[in-house]
A and B are shown apart, each in its own frame.
Chain A
Amino acid sequence: AQTVTQSQPEMSVQEAETVTLSCTYDTSESDYYLFWYKQPPSRQMILVIRQEAYKQQNATENRFSVNFQKAAKSFSLKISDSQLGDAAMYFCAYRSAGAGNQFYFGTGTSLTVIP
């Protein structure tokens, strides 16, 4: 089974600054999808950004961008101009493009935004 590792249980960032959350994964597949989800205290899981493995270009969504390094199996999330509302648990997720379509989640990174 694929594994997803988030090595930073907790991170903090000053409001308006930039922070990068790390994620690595282990797979033998060549085609797959990667995601970052945000879980605020309301506990709703919200998609932040997605990346298809076959695309070399890094995905961006407004203040959120990723650094996808396929050979290194690394998928980090950069949050620019951090806002108080960005405070949440962030999960990195991997989804196989093959049979099962199962999602594998990392253990999460708790992000605190300091005013």
Chain B
Amino acid sequence: DTAVSQTPKYLVTQMGNDKSIKCEQNLGHDTMYWYKQDSKKFLKIMFSYNNKELIINETVPNRFSPKSPDKAHLNLHINSLELGDSAVYFCASSRWGQGANTEAFFGQGTRLTVV
């Protein structure tokens, strides 16, 4: 009964292709995130959604487009993949607001390799 699940776990694709990563959470959280973890393990926020609305959009190429059909889902579509997009992409969710239990729950990550 996975709390935050993302698919696929591994993705190998050629340059120029378009690919999507799906994320779903069953925790009832209203905030979801996409993070990119590079080869040096640095975690960088890409997008944040609250109740299906975009809250944070860091400096990310337009080739990356998040879509949130409902509060429980946040998908990431990547167009025209480049070698530099190779990384591990994490989906996460959390409660919005203050109080207890404000931590982020992470999916297992998607290792994207562009060849």
Contact = CB atoms under 8 A, between A and B. Distances in A.
Interface of A: 31, 33, 35, 37, 39, 42-45, 47, 50, 52, 89, 91, 93, 95, 97, 100-105, 107-108, 110
The 7 A-B residue pairs with the shortest CB-CB distance, nearest first, are A45-B106, A105-B43, A97-B98, A43-B109, A108-B41, A47-B103, A33-B102
B74 interface: no
Q: Tell me if B's interface is mostly helix, strand, loop or mixed.
A: strand
Nearest to B31: A101
Interface residues of B, number: 27
A11 to B, nearest CB: 14
B42 A108 contact: yes
A101 B94 contact: yes
A100 B48 contact: yes
A98 B102 CA distance: 12
